[in-house]
Amino acid sequence: MSALFSPIRLRDLALPNRIMVAPMCQYSAEGGKANDWHFTHINSLALSGAAMFCLEATHVEAIGRITPGCLGLWNDATESALRPILASVRRHSTIAIAIQLAHAGRKGSSHKPWDGGQQIPLTEGGWQTVGPSPVAHKDGELKPLELDAVGLKRVRDAFVESARRADRLGIDAIELHGAHGYLLHQFLSPISNRREDKYGGSLQNRMRYPLEVFDAVRAVFPSKKPVGIKISATDWVDGGWDLDQSIAFAKELKKRNVDWIDVSSGGVSPQQKIPLSPGYQVSFAQAIKEATGVTTMAVGLITEANHAEEIVASGKADMVALARGMLYDPRWAWHAAAELGGEVFAPPQYWRSQPSSHKTLFGETTFGVR
């Protein structure tokens, strides 16, 4: 039996395989609201055969967006915009739906990637960003405002309110975004966190705010539903956040019954030097899993079915999350199941698509044609 296509349980969420469609920013929202692009994108990948689809980084307040086109879940309008899209998914797919709740911190107020990705000046429609310390992401950018006690509470409360909205929408799981140089990661990394209060300095202090946010979200999201987190295991910069600190953070999260850790890397500094290759981040997921026993997801240029199978079968990670590979091949899990002898969900309209050599790909769904 394929390890990749074996079931896994996250609290009350029973997943038929170990594949998640990773959260992928589309930079296409309008005022934080999902639209017809999201309808097309989400419904397409909901039929990928993966067990879970994680909505893109969904921001908890307007100034927490990366770009003006980023998705949000901070008011009734942004909540309402997602409702018909999710209803369509539920009508046509059995996939579990997760949402990645996020705040960009000092990396907000940026142009879309295809428009250069640079910070938008205040005079051109940008906004004042916030962060753990008044340290810009890179030279020449406007420094963020340091979050004071009032600001810290506001952002924490915003995560809580977005979690409540996610539950009202029937979302099955939450992933907090603590990676890629965004706000929670900014608190963790000594590169971006220069505070001298209880939220800065020592490792315990730098972990404090992300853990407070996790605790606050976990407290309001139904106990039967899982809450995970995405982290950057290393900054890829000397003197920055690293694997040993990530393991310490994972141990604290384990005490709080975190349901998974999605292990990525980088993003907090333009000085990072990342040695890209297929599965280049898998060893980080493996190290965290071995040190803590926490359920982990591996990410990072995983595109081949046999590679994903090996990651799970060897115990390096419990699940894999695919992003670019899913965009390139929206039926990636179908093809992986055919290659590995697995079985996936497909709507009956598509049952006749399975090759004659893989008649069990969609289970007992074959039928004749008159």
Catalytic residues: 182
Q: Are 195 and 133 in contact (CB under 8 A)?
A: yes
Helix (H) or strand (E) holding 294: none
Least Cα distance to 229 among 196, 189, 182 occurs for 182
- Whether the CA torsion 84, 69, 57, 219 is positive or negative: it is negative
Report how far residue 200's alpha carbon sits from residue 203's, in angstroms, rounded to the nearest whole number.
Answer: 8
CA angle 173, 281, 135 (to 5 degrees): 80
CA 213 to chain centre: 16
Residue 210: what are its φ and ψ, rounded to 5°? -55, -35
Q: Is 369 helix (H, G, I), strand (E, B) or coil?
A: coil
Q: How many CB atoms lie within 10 A of CB 356?
A: 6
Q: 3-class secondary structure for 183-246?
A: HHHHHHCCCCCCCCCCCCCCHHHHHHHHHHHHHHHHHHCCCCCCEEEEEECCCCCCCCCCHHHH
**Which residues have CB under 8 Å from 199's CB, separation 6+?**
132, 152, 187, 193, 205, 206, 208, 209
Pull the structure tokens for residue 81: 């915009």
104 in Cβ contact with 115 (< 8 Å)? no
How many other C-beta atoms lie within 10 A of the C-beta of residue 43?
Answer: 17
Whole-angstrom CA distances from 157 to 60, 150, 195, 249, 300 are 9, 10, 21, 22, 32
The CA distance from 299 to 262, in Å, is: 7
